[in-house]
C-alpha cells in the first residue's frame, strides 16, 4: 500500500538503512537553510503542534510491519522540516518502540527546539539524536540557516550541552559547510570549543552533495573540508551519502533487490515518497529500497515524463529531486 508518512528505507552513511517517519507532512521548520535538500520552508515557525498525529503515523507503521518488509537498521523520525516541532513526539517515540522493540529510534533535529527543557526531556527516550549545528557565529548562523526570529546559536549550543549531561543514548553531530557562508576561521574556533565540551559520539563535517534550496549554496573545497574534519576529529565521511555503493543487500548479505513490473504501483509509490523527502541518485534509491536499478529507472522515467522531477548534477552524480508544490 502507499504510505503518506513512511518513506524509505533510505541509506545513511551514519546510521545505515533507515526507515523514515515524516512527522510534519509539509515543509514546516524553525529554519530555512540555504542548502536544504527538500526545498524552501513553507511555514517558518517555532511553535510546537501535533502537525501529524501520533495515531496516524503509528497506524501506518503497524500496517508496514504487517506487510513483512525486511527490517531496517533504525527507524528515524524526520520529514520535510524540523520533526521535533511535532508535539506528539513522546507518543510517537513510545509507539515506535512498542511496535519494534529491537530497533533503535533516531531523531533528526536542527536542535533549535531543544532550548525548551520539556523537549530535552522528551528526547531522552530516543536511542540516537542527530543534531545539526552549522555556525556559532551569529551573523553566519542567520545567513546560512535563516532561523525564526529570536533563535540564537549560543542558546542552542548550551541546550545541547545540557542534554548531553542526561542523555544515555548516542549523539551524532553534523556540521554542514557551505562556501562563503560558515567556513570562517572564527566559526571553526568556536565549533572546536563547542565539540570539545559536548563530546558527541560522532561528528560529521560534510559539504553539499545534493541540490539545495538556493543555487548560490555551494560546497567548500576539499582542502577546507579536510581542515575542518581534522580540527573537529570528525568521521571520515565527506558528505551525507558516504558509504558503500553496493547493490541492495539484506542483513544476511544476500541480494534482496526486486524487479518492477509494468503497473507496479507499490514500487512507484515508494520511490515517489522517498524522492519527496530528499534528492537521490538512482543507485541510492535502488540500494535503499531494494528495487532493481532498471526498475528504479522505469519509475524515474515515468515521473520525469509527468513533469514531477527536476534533474541536477552534483559532481559526477545525477540527482533526481521531486518538484515542490506551488
Query: Residue 99 — φ and ψ, nearest 5°?
Result: -75, -40
Are 239 and 296 in the same domain?
A: no
Asked whether residue 25 is domain-assigned, the answer is: yes
User: CB of 248 within 8 A of CB of 286?
Assistant: yes
Place of cell 558509504: 243
User: CB of 50 within 8 A of CB of 232?
Assistant: no
Are 289 and 154 in the same domain?
A: no
**Confidence tier at 311 by pLDDT (50, 70, 90):** confident
> What is d(CA 167, CA 18) in angstroms, rounded to the nearest whole number?
22
- Most confident region among 129-133, 251-255, 317-321 by mean pLDDT: 129-133
Domain count, the chain: 2
Residue 287 is part of which domain span? Answer: 253-326
Are 103 and 157 in the same domain?
A: yes
pLDDT of residue 215: 66
| Domain stop point among 197, 216, 243 | 243
Asked whether residue 248 is domain-assigned, the answer is: no
Are 114 and 43 in the same domain?
A: yes
Please enumerate in sequence order all residues whose Cβ is within 8 A of that of 65, keeping only pairs 6 or more positions apart, or say none: 99, 100
> What is d(CA 83, CA 89) in angstroms, rounded to the nearest whole number?
8
Are 161 and 298 in the same domain?
A: no
| Domain stop point among 208, 243, 278 | 243
Long-range contacts of 150-158 (CB under 8 A, 24+ apart): 150/46, 151/30, 151/31, 151/46, 151/112, 155/115, 156/111, 156/112, 156/114, 156/115, 157/133, 157/194, 157/198, 158/115
Are 305 and 170 in the same domain?
A: no
Are 296 and 277 in the same domain?
A: yes
Are 81 and 229 in the same domain?
A: yes
**Per-residue pLDDT tens digits for 224-233:** 999 999 999 9
**Per-residue pLDDT tens digits for 5-50:** 998 888 888 999 999 999 999 999 999 999 887 778 999 999 999 9
Asked whether residue 258 is domain-assigned, the answer is: yes
Q: Does 164 have pLDDT greater than 90? A: yes
CATH code: domain of residue 292:
1.10.10.10
**Confidence tier at 250 by pLDDT (50, 70, 90):** very low
Please compute, for residue 122, the number of CA atoms within 13 A of its CA located in the half-sphere on the CB side. 22
**Per-residue pLDDT tens digits for 49-78:** 999 999 999 999 999 999 988 899 999 999
Give the global pTM. Answer: 0.79
Beta-ladder partners of 309: 322
Q: How many whole angstroms from its chain centre is CA 42?
A: 17
Are 145 and 42 in the same domain?
A: yes
144: enclosing H helix or E strand? helix 138-145
Asked whether residue 47 is domain-assigned, the answer is: yes
Please enumerate in sequence order all residues whose Cβ is within 8 A of that of 32, keeping only pairs 6 or more positions apart, or say none: 40, 41, 44, 145, 146, 147, 213
**Residue 252 or 278, more confident:** 278
What's the chain's average pLDDT? 87
**Confidence tier at 325 by pLDDT (50, 70, 90):** low
DSSP structure string for 269-309: HHHHHHHHHS-B-HHHHHHHHTB-HHHHHHHHHHHHHTT-E
Are 227 and 264 in the same domain?
A: no
Q: Does 249 have pLDDT greater than 50? A: no
| Domain stop point among 204, 225, 243 | 243
User: CB of 176 within 8 A of CB of 132?
Assistant: yes
> What is d(CA 282, CA 276) in angstroms, rounded to the nearest whole number?
14
pLDDT of residue 260: 44
Cell numbers given for 262: 509494468
Question: In terms of Cα–Cα distance, which of 7, 8, 91 is closest to 52?
Answer: 91
Asked whether residue 273 is domain-assigned, the answer is: yes
Which burial class, exposed, middle or buried, applies to 143 when counting CB atoms under 10 A from its CB (0-12, 13-18, 19+)? Answer: middle
Cell numbers given for 309: 522531477
**Residue 60 CB neighbours (<10 A):** 19
Cell numbers given for 135: 555556525
Are 275 and 306 in the same domain?
A: yes
Q: What is the mean pLDDT of residues 237-259?
A: 40
CATH code: domain of residue 50:
3.20.20.70
Report the DSSP pairing between strands 309-314 and 317-322.
Answer: antiparallel
Asked whether residue 1 is domain-assigned, the answer is: no
Are 195 and 52 in the same domain?
A: yes
pLDDT of residue 255: 35
Amino acid at each position: 500500500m502507499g504510505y503518506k508518512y513512511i518513506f524509505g528505507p533510505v541509506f545513511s552513511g551514519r546510521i545505515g538503512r533507515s526507515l523514515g517517519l515524516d512527522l510534519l507532512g509539509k515543509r514546516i521548520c524553525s529554519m530555512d537553510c540555504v542548502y536544504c535538500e527538500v526545498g524552501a520552508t513553507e511555514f517558518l515557525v517555532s511553535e510546537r503542534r501535533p502537525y501529524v498525529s501520533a495515531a496516524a503515523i503509528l497506524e501506518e507503521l503497524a500496517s508496514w510491519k504487517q506487510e513483512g518488509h525486511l527490517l531496517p537498521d533504525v527507524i528515524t523520525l524526520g520529514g520535510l522540516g524540523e520533526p521535533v516541532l511535532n508535539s506528539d513526539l513522546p507518543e510517537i517515540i513510545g509507539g515506535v518502540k512498542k511496535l519494534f522493540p529491537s530497533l533503535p529510534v533516531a531523531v533528526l533535529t536542527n536542535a533549535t527546539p531543544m532550548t525548551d527543557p520539556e523537549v530535552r526531556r522528551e528526547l531522552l527516550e530516543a536511542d540516537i539524536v542527530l543534531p545539526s549545528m552549522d555556525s556559532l557565529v551569529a551573523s553566519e548562523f542567520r545567513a546560512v540557516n535563516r532561523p525564526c526570529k529570536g533563535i540564537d546559536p549560543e542558546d542552542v549550543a548550551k541546550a545541547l550541552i545540557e542534554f548531553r549531561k542526561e542523555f544515555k543514548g548516542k549523539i551524532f553531530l553534523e556540521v554542514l559547510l557551505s562556501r562563503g557562508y560558515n567556513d570562517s576561521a572564527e566559526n571553526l574556533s568556536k565549533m572546536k570549543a563547542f565539540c570539545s565540551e559536548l563530546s558527541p559520539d560522532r561528528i560529521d563535517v560534510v559539504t553539499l552533495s545534493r541540490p539545495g534550496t538556493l543555487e548560490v549554496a555551494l560546497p567548500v573545497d576539499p582542502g577546507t573540508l579536510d581542515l575542518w574534519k581534522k580540527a573537529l576529529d570528525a568521521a571520515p565521511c565527506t558528505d551525507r551519502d558516504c558509504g558503500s555503493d553496493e547493490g541492495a543487500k539484506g542483513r544476511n548479505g544476500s541480494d534482496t533487490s526486486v524487479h518492477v513490473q509494468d503497473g507496479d504501483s507499490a514500487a512507484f509509490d515508494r520511490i515517489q515518497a522517498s524522492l519527496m523527502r530528499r534528492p537521490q541518485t538512482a543507485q541510492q534509491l535502488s540500494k535503499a529500497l531494494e528495487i532493481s536499478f532498471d526498475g528504479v529507472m522505469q519509475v524515474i522515467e515515468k515521473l520525469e515524463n509527468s513533469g514531477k522531477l527536476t534533474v541536477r548534477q552534483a559532481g559526477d552524480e545525477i540527482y533526481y529531486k521531486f518538484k515542490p508544490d506551488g
